[in-house]
Amino acid sequence: MYKKKKRSWVKHLDFIILDMIAAELALFIGVYIKFHSVIFLDRFEWYNLYQSLAKILPFIDLTGVLFTETYTGILRRTKYQEITSTVWHSLINFLGVLLYMYANQTSYYYSRFALGAFGVAMIVVTYIVRVFWKRIIRRRKLLDVNKTSMVVVAESTTVDHCLSEIAHSPYTEFKVEGVVVVDKDMTGQEIQGIPVVANADSLFEYLRTNVVDEIFLDGNTRASEESLAGRLVEQGLTVHMSLIHTNNLMPNRIMETYGDYVVLTTSMHIANNRQAFLKRLMDICGAIVGLVLAFIAFVIFAPVIKLQSPGPVFFTQTRIGKNGRRFRFYKFRTMYIDAEERKKELMSQNEMKGNMFKMENDPRVTPIGHFLRKYSIDELPQFWNVLIGEMSLVGTRPPLEEEYENYALHHKARLSIKPGLTGMWQVSGRSDIKDFEQVVALDTEYISNWSLGLDIKIIFKTIAVVFGGKGSK
């Protein structure tokens, strides 16, 4: 019987528990530095307050784990990447602690110094614990204690690559005891320090006389692979069949089933259901707040817009959304009514290279329009697009129909997600970017590296840009 390997964050349960312990230890350190007392052992001022926090802290940490991806690729991280991840993880925990205090209306009673010491100690202790535990894991991997015995069956042209990939697999729970080369007799030789124990003719004799738990089968053709796998399973062995070599594909890939088909799905980025749900939840919450601001802006600026340029308060336009879908796009009107007709006359003054139009001191913009654009107030009605699911808070800016018609194939990558109110381009000095290819590069970078943490980072940067008056010119 084959026991399925642990998946998702469950396989990092050891790190989760250690991070909980590190957070508790950090709280103990913060309290000791301030009060020279130990929680649960000494009685001191506000003892019950800190004792309650110590009890709830593991649940705060676990909640943070469920809402973030701080354990993804933890065994492959560099020291710098681990520092970044640790700071992010600790920040999430600290925010959770603050929310707990706010909910209990007890934040006033906590020592700010003790909390500050706790926050710093949490980063330091968590980082030390993670690095130390990863060293232990590597040593255990080298010792090969109590691991499943595995034999790799492959051809001479692929066996070296196969062994390298297995060796670099994190959380290896097996030991490769031998190699079987099926297309030539290399018995007695070694490949990467692992003995070649049999060939195609002597494979089953070797299996009969040696302890083997699992077979990793890397065949050349599906028919030969399935035939051999069937015979091996009849021996009571667990067989892992390679479906495809994916080293030339994108790193984001998952296995899925469609009927009786097993397929490898790959994309620029693959979000799981939890990530997609949280992004949508963040969109809805942000849209509700944004629409309140949009209503306030409407009350204040609608009369001015009408006075300076007769016509509708709102500007609507067809834009291109996810994978070419068309939708109605809303803004406060910042230009004169004949702006679209005059655009053709101004194309020679376009400052943007490529499929975008941008012009400083655009004569089509009304006086109030300059103000609305400077602080991005004109974008507020798009929160309606976000609420109904046509857009997201963070994404790529939706192009015009005529811009989309001139897209090259690689430009369409930026449309693989919902368009956003803000994005990587907007917070990377959009007024200084003159080449559309730079916009595409920033958008594809965002899509490939997407995470909820990145969205939050971009939102905070956007707020800074807006209040700094660095919006569209």
| Structure confidence by residue, pLDDT tens digits, 463-472 | 988 887 665 5
d(CA 66, CA 99): 16
- Confidence tier at 240 by pLDDT (50, 70, 90): confident
Does 260 have pLDDT greater than 70? no
Domains, in order of start, for the chain: 8-143 (no CATH), 148-242 (3.40.50.720), 273-467 (no CATH)
Instruction: Tell me how long the chain is.
Output: 473
The whole-number pLDDT of residue 309 equals: 87
Does 97 have pLDDT greater than 80? yes
- Confidence tier at 144 by pLDDT (50, 70, 90): low
- Confidence tier at 1 by pLDDT (50, 70, 90): very low
Report the Cα–Cα distance between both ends of the chain, in Å, rounded: 66
Average pLDDT over residues 6-30: 81
- For 357-385, letters b (16+ CB in 10 Å) and e give ebbeebebbbebbebbbbbbbbbbbbbbb
Average pLDDT over residues 27-51: 79
**Chain-centre distance for alpha carbon 190:** 41
The residue type found at 406 is N
- Confidence tier at 448 by pLDDT (50, 70, 90): confident
Q: What is the pLDDT of residues 192-204, one digit of tens each?
A: 989 999 998 899 8
Average pLDDT over residues 127-147: 75
Q: Please, are residues 27 and 116 in contact by the beta-carbon 8 Å criterion? A: no
Q: Is 462 exposed, middle or buried (0-12, 13-18, 19+ CB in 10 A)?
A: buried
* 223 vs 193, more confident: 193
Average pLDDT over residues 78-105: 89
Q: Lowest mean pLDDT: which of 100-104, 189-193, 269-273?
A: 269-273
**Residues 6+ away with beta carbon under 8 Å from 131:** 79, 82
Does 326 have pLDDT greater than 80? yes
Does 33 have pLDDT greater than 80? yes
Percent of the chain residues topping a pLDDT of 90: 33
Average pLDDT in the chain: 82
* Element holding 16 (H helix, E strand): helix 13-35
Q: Of the candidates 284, 423, 310, 408, which has an alpha carbon nearest to the alpha carbon of residue 355?
A: 408
Tell me the pTM: 0.63
Q: Please, are residues 15 and 74 in contact by the beta-carbon 8 Å criterion? A: yes
